[in-house]
């Protein structure tokens, strides 16, 4: 059995190379092997690899730049999943694809579940929602995992940025009125491997619970408290920093304007995922503390 893994050098792709390795032969590709803005390159790739499973963490993730690079964002986030879905359907393959909390407008008071209406407020969110719909229409044999606030030991992310800034500055100001669940790339990869393994063991393939699922760590926090946790963890691991947790000031979204609108509420209800696949999701602090430890080499 062969798994085609895209985005091999991204945060999630890097961890998926580890998590999926025991399950099948992995053909992992990045931008150098396939430009996901070019549909014909994607078709050629899938037809040459002929995978039984396609795992697609590749994405355009420059949220603010997407406001002025809509065409590129939609090519990678919407057209590419459609092509993968069409080629998977032709081969009889199964697709795992990743989406985002940005498909919601962030105005709901509680956690979003999979039945809630999507109302993206940014070009990035629109492109990711378009990708969900495109894949859904291309093949029934798919899983779409919506996640958010992802941090890994490989690549750029909020945790790594906070560690760098706290080592350079005496104080930081971080938004405290946006809420979500920081989720480690390793957790996403391990969950994906669990789902793929269940699909491999499913004798009656049509009985497998395909569909869209929310996939984030347990618990919730805001960006400011998240930053304080990251910095505090680094100090506990013995890394001296100029700015400690007490030097991180809470500000509002209005005080930190960005080109793209961010959801104030990125809470995602994971009950459907947990019940369908028998999972217990760890608290976000567990995964993020491990990410910090790995970044520091502690």
98 domain residue, yes or no = yes
Task: Give me the numbers of helices (H) and strands (E) for the chain, helices first please.
Answer: 10, 12
Give the range of the structural domain holding residue 117, as residue numbers without chain letter. Answer: 2-157+181-218+266-282
238 domain residue, yes or no = no
Q: pLDDT per residue over 275-286, tens digit each?
A: 999 999 999 999
Tell me what percent of the residues of the chain surpass a pLDDT of 90.
96
Total structural domains within the chain: 1
Q: pLDDT per residue over 3-41, tens digit each?
A: 999 999 999 999 999 999 999 999 999 999 999 999 999
pLDDT attached to residue 223 = 98
Dist CA 72 CA 124 (whole Å): 10
292 domain residue, yes or no = no
186 domain residue, yes or no = yes
pLDDT attached to residue 206 = 84
Greatest CA span in the chain, whole angstroms?
Answer: 59
96 domain residue, yes or no = yes
Out of 98, 124, 210, 213, the active site residue is 124
83 domain residue, yes or no = yes
Hey, is 293 helix, strand or coil?
helix
pLDDT attached to residue 203 = 73
Q: Residue count of the chain, please give it.
A: 298
Q: Are strands 53-56 and 25-28 parallel, antiparallel or unpaired?
A: unpaired
Active site residue 124: yes
Dist CA 142 CA 135 (whole Å): 8
Dist CA 88 CA 83 (whole Å): 8
**Helix ranges (DSSP H) in the chain:** 11-20, 39-49, 70-74, 80-91, 123-138, 158-168, 185-201, 223-236, 271-277, 284-296
191 domain residue, yes or no = yes
Report the chain's mean pLDDT, rounded to a whole number: 97
Which residues are 19's β-sheet partners? none
For residue 298, pLDDT beyond 90: no
Burial class (CB in 10 A: 0-12, 13-18, 19+), 142: buried
pLDDT attached to residue 219 = 98
167 domain residue, yes or no = no
∠ Cα 202 203 207 (to 5°): 65
CATH code, 117: 3.40.50.720
Per the CB < 8 A criterion, the answer to whether 266 and 101 are in contact is yes
Alpha-carbon distances of 222 from 22, 118, 180, 266, rounded to whole Å: 36, 22, 6, 10
Dist CA 199 CA 182 (whole Å): 27
Q: pLDDT per residue over 130-163, tens digit each?
A: 999 999 999 999 999 999 999 999 889 999 999 9
Q: pLDDT per residue over 187-240, tens digit each?
A: 999 999 999 999 999 877 889 999 999 999 999 999 999 999 999 999 999 999
Q: What is the chain's alpha carbon radius of gyration, rounded to the nearest angstrom?
A: 19
């Amino acid at each position: 059995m062969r798994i085609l893994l895209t985005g091999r050098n991204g945060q999630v792709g890097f961890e998926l190379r580890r998590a999926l390795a025991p399950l099948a032969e992995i053909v992992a590709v990045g931008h150098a092997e396939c430009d996901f803005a070019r549909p014909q390159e994607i078709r050629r790739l899938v037809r040459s690899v002929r995978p039984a499973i396609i795992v697609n963490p590749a994405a355009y993730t420059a949220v603010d730049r997407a406001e002025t690079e809509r065409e590129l964002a939609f090519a990678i986030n919407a057209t590419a999943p459609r092509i993968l879905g069409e080629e998977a359907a032709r081969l009889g393959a199964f697709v795992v694809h990743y989406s985002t909390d940005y498909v919601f407008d962030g105005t709901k008071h509680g956690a979003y579940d999979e039945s809630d209406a999507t109302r993206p407020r940014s070009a990035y969110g629109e492109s990711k929602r378009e990708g969900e719909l495109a894949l859904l229409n291309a093949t029934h044999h798919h899983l779409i995992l919506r996640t958010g606030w992802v941090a890994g030991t490989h690549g750029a992310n909020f945790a790594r940025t906070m560690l760098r800034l706290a080592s350079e500055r005496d104080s930081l100001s971080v938004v405290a009125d946006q809420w979500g669940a920081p989720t480690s790339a390793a957790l996403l990869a391990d969950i994906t491997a669990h789902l793929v393994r269940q699909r491999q063991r499913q004798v009656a393939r049509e009985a497998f619970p395909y569909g869209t699922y929310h996939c984030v760590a347990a618990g919730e926090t805001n960006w400011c408290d998240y930053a304080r946790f990251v910095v505090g963890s680094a100090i506990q691991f013995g890394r001296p920093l100029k700015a400690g947790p007490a030097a991180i000031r809470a500000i509002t979204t209005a005080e930190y304007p960005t080109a793209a609108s961010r959801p104030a509420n990125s809470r995602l209800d994971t009950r459907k995922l947990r019940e369908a696949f028998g999972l217990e999701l760890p608290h976000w602090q567990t995964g993020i503390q491990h990410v910090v430890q790995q970044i520091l080499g502690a």
